[in-house]
Structure formats: structure tokens, C-alpha cells
Structure 1
């Protein structure tokens, strides 16, 4: 293969005139990836938990609304949702809210749209995991909680959900790992996360192998940290003998 390897390019100053190196570009992309993944997963966990609860309530309206949410967002390609979230959503927002969103600095526009889109999309997947975890609980747990005088809301909060999250800890870890890779789609709307910075580095240096080898190692390291952190949380909060621990 006629290719000139040159790892020193990573330490060269960038050609745009910024006081940074190409390796600094990759580090800033990694930071954007981590921030996007953490914020979007927090949003997905909140939305998915609420929707998962709705899927198990006796109310047909709540169940149908959550089922429609899951069907829509799991059925539309993620890249299409990113385009809708960035280009169309500000036009649909009422009053001056859309104008305020468009007046944000470009980086904040890209990040906010990416967090919202990726969080809502992943929330539809988390919803089904929460629903499965709740339905796997023994029926007597809810009945016992209600018999003790707890409301249904308190029964979910204090009895069912704590055990459910312990049960679905491993699937949630998988979703977080998938989300860290899905964050690469955000580069299509302008957010320079890890893969986006790598493509920009290739455009300026014409050294694709060095760029994408670094990106590959960065994703491996990020996934390793996620696995270790989630396994630590699972062991710390696990209940002996409970499925999923």
C-alpha cells in the first residue's frame, strides 16, 4: 500500500489559525461526545421511565399514547430525526421560543438539538425496557404496596421502580454504549463530536488512517469507562439473588 504514515501530524498547529493542534481537535470532539452522551442519556432515562410506566397503567389512553411514542420514534431513522430536530423543530415552536433557539451560538444550537433528538429517540427504547422490567415484577408487590395504603404513584416510586432498575441494569448499560456510538450522527447537523472532528482533520491533513485509528481507540476507551462505571453502579446497588445482578 502506497501510503505515507505520519503520526506527527497530530501535534502540528491547525491550518485554520487557531491556537490548537489537530490532537486538540480530537480531544474537543471527545469532550463533545461525552457531554452529548451523558445529557441525552439522562433525558432518555427520564422520558423512557415515564413512558414505560404509562405502558403498564390500566388507563387505555396512557397506554396508547406511550405505544404511539415508541412506534413513531423507533420507526423513523435516527438521521431523519436529527434533521427534523435541528431544521424543523425551531419553526414549529410557538411564539418567540423558536427565534430564541435560533439566536443561540451555533455550538449551543447543535448541542441542544442533538441532546433533544438523541434523548427522545433513545427514550423510546428505554421505555420498552422499563415496561418489561415492571411487568416482570411479581404481581403481589403492587398489591401489597396498595394494601399498605400507598398510592399507585408511591408504589411505583418506592417499590416497583427501584427493583425494576436493578433488573434492567445490563440492558440500560447496552443502551448507553449504543448511544455513545449513535452520537456520531450528530455530525450531520454540524456538531463536531469525535467522528466529526476526525473527518475535519482528514480534510485538512489528508492523513485518514492516523485520524480514524485515534478515533477508534477513543471510542474503545470511552466504552471501557462506561462498562466499568455501570458495572460498579450495578454491584453497589445490587440485591443478592435478583435477576440482572
Structure 2
């Protein structure tokens, strides 16, 4: 099979091959387009991850409050709601249904709606990990904080969460990679990210194999970079001697 990688040097409007592969004077090549699509994929992923981390941290924390059962029930309901509705359905709900109920949302850019849908969907999974991280800590840490005169909020802020967040970095690595891959659903609402690019350019150029292979390489490269970044963070923040089952190992 003959590969036609020169297709990336063609202009998207005229189909003419451009020297150097990058368009000039407003003319865009398919190489310009895929770089732009990659940028949109990373933008959606990073913004959605920020929403997921902030929301998941709050929801996961309130699910461990011993004296607030109503907050625990609300947190559990949040997790079950967002975890059990398919992501694509949630995208459509944010894009078609919610603006119909709240007309003010009709002027919100599509990327914001996708970021919210993807971020809240992932927040349910992160909330589970935060809850598990807090509950993996010895109970004595909570009691020690309270015995020292710290409030419940201060105990979580200064004692429990710093430890819990450090021990959930490995599963957070998977979620960070998943949110980047799940950003591909943004094509359903016409955001020109990588999957949208592959579908559209493959039809225009009659070279879908080259387009999908290039997109696959960019997804794999992005996931690898995320993995390495998270591995570096894990290595720098690892808790020496911690046993994930819920205790501290005997150490040196």
C-alpha cells in the first residue's frame, strides 16, 4: 500500500500542494488544520480536567463526612447520576436540552458546554478516588487532628487531604489520560478537535488511512506525555512507607 503523506501539504480549499506544508497568507493546509485540531483537543481536555478535579475533590470529600449524612447522600447521588449516564448522552443534554430549559445558555459557546459535560462526567470518577483515598488513611489521623483543636474543615485541609491526594495519583494518571481520549466526543457538536478533523479531512482528501493514523499518533503521544508527567509527580510526592490498605508500613 502506497502512503500519501504529502496530502498534509495540500490546501484545504484549493487542494494545491504548498511548499513547506504550512499555508501562508490565510491559506490553510491539512497540516495547519491537524495542529489546530490537536490544540482544541488539548484545550478541551485540560479545562475539563480542571473542572473534574475541583468538583471531584469537593464531592469526594463530603462523602466522607461522618456527621453530615445528608451531604453524604447528596454526594453519592451525584456520583451515581454522572457515572451511570453515557458521556455522549450527557454531551447532547448540555448542548440541546439544557439551553432549551434555560434560554440564557443558548449563547454559551459549544466548547464550554463540552467542557462542563466532560468535566462533570469525570468528576464522579475522581470523587470515588478521593473518597477511597481519604478512607484508606488510618482513622487515628482524623481523631488526632480533632484532638489538637482543629475544626473538621481544618483537619481535612491540613491532615487528611494532603495525604489522600498523594496516594491517589496512580489512579488519577488513568483518569487524566481517559479525559484526553474522551474529549473525542466533542466531534458530536462540531468542535474541530482531532476526531472531527480525521472524519472531515478523510472525506475531503480520500485519504482516510493517513488522516486516522496521524490522529492516532497524536492521541498516543499526548497520552504518553500525560503518563510521564503524572509519573514524575508521583515520584516526587510519594508517601514513604504508606500501605494502601489503610496503614503505615514499618519503615526505616
Using the size of structure 2 for normalisation, the TM-score is: 0.88
Write out aligned runs for 1:191-206 (5 A): 191-206=191-206
Matched, 1:9 2:13: no
Larger radius of gyration: 2
Which stretches of structure 1, 4 residues or longer, exceed 3 Å deviation after superposition?
Answer: none
Question: Which of structures 1 and 2 has the larger relative contact order (alpha carbons within 8 angstroms, sep 6+)?
Answer: 1
Write out aligned runs for 1:96-111 (5 A): 98-99=103-104, 101-104=105-108, 109-111=109-111
* Equivalent residues of 1:45, 1:126 under 8 A apart: yes
Selected match of 2:85 from 64, 68, 76? 76
Query: 1:75-107 CA deviation, whole Å, 9 max, x = no partner?
Result: 1111000000111122333xxxx43x4335xxx
What root-mean-square deviation, in Å, do the aligned CA atoms of Structure 1 and Structure 2 show? 1.6
SS at match of 1:70: helix
Report deviation, 1:16. 7.1
* Equivalent residues of 1:133, 1:165 under 8 A apart: yes
* Equivalent residues of 1:187, 1:195 under 8 A apart: yes
Query: 1:184-226 CA deviation, whole Å, 9 max, x = no partner?
Result: 0111111111111111111210101100110111011101110
Selected match of 1:66 from 50, 67, 75? 75
State how many pairs are aligned.
Answer: 233
Using the size of structure 1 for normalisation, the TM-score is: 0.91
* Equivalent residues of 1:36, 1:114 under 8 A apart: yes
| Structure 1: runs of 5 or more not aligned | none
| Greater percentage in helix | 1
Aligned-partner Cα distance in 2 for 1:120–1:181:
15
Aligned-partner Cα distance in 2 for 1:177–1:8:
30
* Equivalent residues of 1:130, 1:168 under 8 A apart: yes
Q: Aligned residue for 1:32?
A: 40
Selected match of 1:44 from 42, 52, 66? 52
